[in-house]
Amino acid sequence: MSETASAASPNAGTTTTTTTTTTGTDAAAHDAAASAADAATGIRNRLVITLLLVSTFVVILNETIMGVALPRLMSDLSITASAAQWLTSAFMLTMAVVIPITGFLLQRFNTRPVFIAAMTLFSTGTLIAAVAPGFEVLLAARVVQATGTAIMFPLLLTSVMTLVPPAHLGRMMGNISIVISVAPAIGPTISGAILSVLDWRWMFILVLPIALTALVVGGILMQNVTTPRKTPIDVLSVILSALGFGALVYGLSNLGTAPGGIASVAGGLPLLVGALGLTLFILRQLVLQRTDAALLDLRTFRSRTFTFSIVMMAISMMALFGTIILLPIYTQTVLGLSALQAGLILLPGGLVMGLLAPFVGRLYDRSGPTRLLITGSSIVSAVFWSMTLLNANSSPWLVLAAHVSLSFGLALLFTPLFTASLAAVRPELYSHGSAVVGTVQQLAGAVGTALFVTVMASVAASRLASGATDVAATSAGIQAAFLCGAVISLFAIPAAFFIRRPV
């Protein structure tokens, strides 16, 4: 009996050891498989974000590429200045109409088909613009381009918020800031360089192969990274959105050229219709969001950080787009520089924003947004006040220094604002938060452009009536426009104190 027990005992021990070894092997294999799966997921996520970043940079670049080209287009197409301006205004108008709908699109459809649709629209619009026989077709092409652009930006933001861990969000948003701030800033530079040696059609011919490459590569490699769900679309909300945002942007874009300004029917009526449409749209969303059926869910504004970030973002975008419009006018009309020289003056500032963005993202990850925002808003305000001193005798180097300093301040703002605003939103509202950010960008850009141009034009007209020369009148108008921007910039500084890193 004792021998049998003794024999059984080693067997039992051996059996136990074997089982333990097998279990350990299975666990190791399971861990290795999990690590491989995590690595594959990380590679997929980086690939998706890279494709979206490159594609979004290309499409947003086109938003401001037309500014320096307008005088050439007026001559080649035999159109007036007010008509030529619509090549930029129609782009912004379309963006403002389409972006609010993207919150629904990103909830309803997968990442890959949305990406393919956006880049197909943009590429088609670029092709039509490259072969456009006249102004009407070129204008239609810009609208098609803008439709694709409007989808890409919220798609990028939503995908990043879904895929990137909170600890690395600031760094990734720094890369997005390169897209959002640098692409519009270098648009005039690229346009001026192309126009100095080539026909205006080459602005689109050179972009087309890049857009098509992004479409083909993205179509092959893009992965679905969001989980769509069936959500109904409220047709009335779509109509009110198009009416409200569209009429507002139209009215703001038309304000500088409408006879009589805002007091006239042409100047004031679109703004009134837009305000009414936007009010009804907001009321409709407040009702629908109770059942999670809103086209643009406004519960994002329940976060104080999101709300104050949106306010600061609006002021920053007004500063960016207003400056992009005013400085080429100032440098060409008042200082007598060429289109290429005017574009080159804006290039270093764009590069500064691009180089600083990743660095600012890392600072955000380390210390949060508040200090960066206070410093950035103070710099932006100081630069605006200094630009009120620009006149017909100012050196182009002074303009360059002012724009680089302004770009430095804006670089400290964009990354923290994008990161803090969306990080403060609940995950199920990411697509709506992204759509709000994109919509505010377009409205603020339209407001900044319209406000700066209207103030400049009205003051210049008054000086001309008093007998001033064209150069002196334009210089005075630009000083007044920058003064207006300087006053508005002051409101961003106290708002910065209310923005904290979301927990």
Structure tokens at 196: 């100095």
389 or 232, higher pLDDT: 389
| Reduced 3-state DSSP string for 179-224 | HHHHHHHHHHHHHHHHHCCCCCCHHHHCHHHHHHHHHHHHHHHCCC
Query: Locate tokens 């930029």: which residue?
Result: 88
- By three-state DSSP, how is residue 158 classified? helix
Mean pLDDT of 423-433: 82
Residue 25 token pair: 């092997």
* pLDDT of residue 405 exceeding 90: yes
Going by C-beta distance under 8 Å and a sequence separation of 6 or more, which residues neighbour residue 45? 163, 164, 225
Q: How confident is the model at residue 14 (pLDDT cuts 50, 70, 90)?
A: very low
The H or E element containing residue 341 is helix 339-367
In this predicted structure, what is the pLDDT of residue 257?
57
Which one has a higher pLDDT value, 191 or 145? Answer: 145
**Rounded Cα gap, residues 289 and 300, in angstroms:** 11
Cα–Cα distance, 263 to 239 (Å, whole number)? 27
Does 9 score more than 50 pLDDT? no
> Which DSSP symbol is given to 333?
I
- 409 versus 452: the higher-pLDDT residue is 409
The verdict on pTM exceeding 0.85 is no
Handedness of CA 22, 28, 33, 37 (dihedral sign): positive
Long-range contacts, 75-81 (Cβ 8 Å, 24+): 76/200, 77/134, 77/135, 77/138, 79/135, 81/257
Residue written as token pair 């459809």: 109
Give the model's confidence band at 259: pLDDT under 50 very low, under 70 low, under 90 confident, else very high: low
What tokens does 319 get?
Answer: 């500063």
Yes or no: say if 475 and 333 are a contact pair by the CB < 8 Å rule. Answer: no
CA angle (32, 33, 36) in 5-degree steps: 85
Q: Cα angle vertex 414, ends 143, 221, to 5°?
A: 60
* pLDDT above 80: residue 240: yes
Say what the pLDDT of residue 27 is: 59
Over the stretch 284-319, which tens digit does the pLDDT of each residue have? 989 888 887 788 888 888 888 899 999 988 888 888
Q: What is the arithmetic mean of pLDDT over 370-399? A: 91
The overall average pLDDT reported for the chain is 80
pLDDT confidence of residue 383: 92
SS3 300: helix
d(CA 239, CA 243) in angstroms, rounded, equals: 6
C-alpha of 173 from chain center? 12
**pLDDT band at 283; cut points 50, 70, 90:** very high
pLDDT tens across 22-43, in order? 555 665 655 555 565 556 556 7
Q: Please, which pLDDT band fits residue 233 given cuts at 50, 70 and 90?
A: confident
Distance of CA 337 to the CA centre of its chain: 29
Q: Which residue has the tokens 């050196």?
A: 395
> Taking 50 as the threshold, does the pLDDT of residue 116 lie above it?
yes
418: pLDDT strictly greater than 60: yes
Q: Of the ranges 182-191, 215-224, 451-460, which one carries the lowest mean pLDDT score? A: 182-191
Helices (H), 222-338: 235-255, 265-288, 304-329
- Within 8 A by CB and 6+ apart from 283, the residues are none
Counts for the chain of helices (H) and strands (E), in that order: 18, 0
Q: Which amino acid is at 406?
A: L
pLDDT value for 7: 44
* 8: confidence class by pLDDT, cuts 50, 70, 90: very low
- Asked whether 360 and 182 are in contact (CB, 8 A), the reply is no
Name the more confident of 431 and 302.
302
Identify the pLDDT of residue 386: 92
Q: How confident is the model at residue 261 (pLDDT cuts 50, 70, 90)?
A: low
Cβ atoms of 420 and 499 within 8 Å: the answer is yes
Q: What is the mean pLDDT of residues 249-277?
A: 71
Amino acid present at 21 = T
Q: What is the structure's pLDDT at 398?
A: 92
CA distance 132 to 119: 19
